[in-house]
Amino acid sequence: MIYILIDILSYSLIVIGIILWFWGTLPLLGHRSVLFKLHSLSVADTLGSMSIVVGLLLKIPFEWPLLLLALITLAIWNTVLGYVLAYCSSSGEKND
């Protein structure tokens, strides 16, 4: 019985992750700034990918070191990428 509940939770997390992936692409169709579009896309992509990895962690728990590394890498690299894009898009002027 517990294995069935774990399977249901695992598949639910994977489906939620895929939904977040597609939901994150919707702002690309709007008329907002490029930074807003990139931010919403990266947040939805990060949360969706992390949800999928947690679902896989429940499905194949013997691969926990690799999947934990994937979770940490997703959290760090997507955050750093957002800061780098924001810094590179700034005009370089300092407001003191």
Per-residue pLDDT reduced to its tens digit, 26-74: 888 888 887 888 888 888 889 999 999 999 999 999 999 999 999 999 8
Give the separation between CA 47 and CA 13, rounded to whole angstroms. Answer: 11
Per-residue pLDDT reduced to its tens digit, 7-25: 999 999 999 999 999 998 8
What is the pLDDT confidence band of residue 92, given thresholds at 50, 70 and 90?
Answer: low
What is the pLDDT confidence band of residue 94, given thresholds at 50, 70 and 90?
Answer: low
Per-residue pLDDT reduced to its tens digit, 72-87: 998 888 878 877 877 7
Q: Please state, in angstroms and as integers, the Cα–Cα distance from residue 52 to each residue in 27, 48, 90, 94, following that order.
A: 21, 6, 33, 40
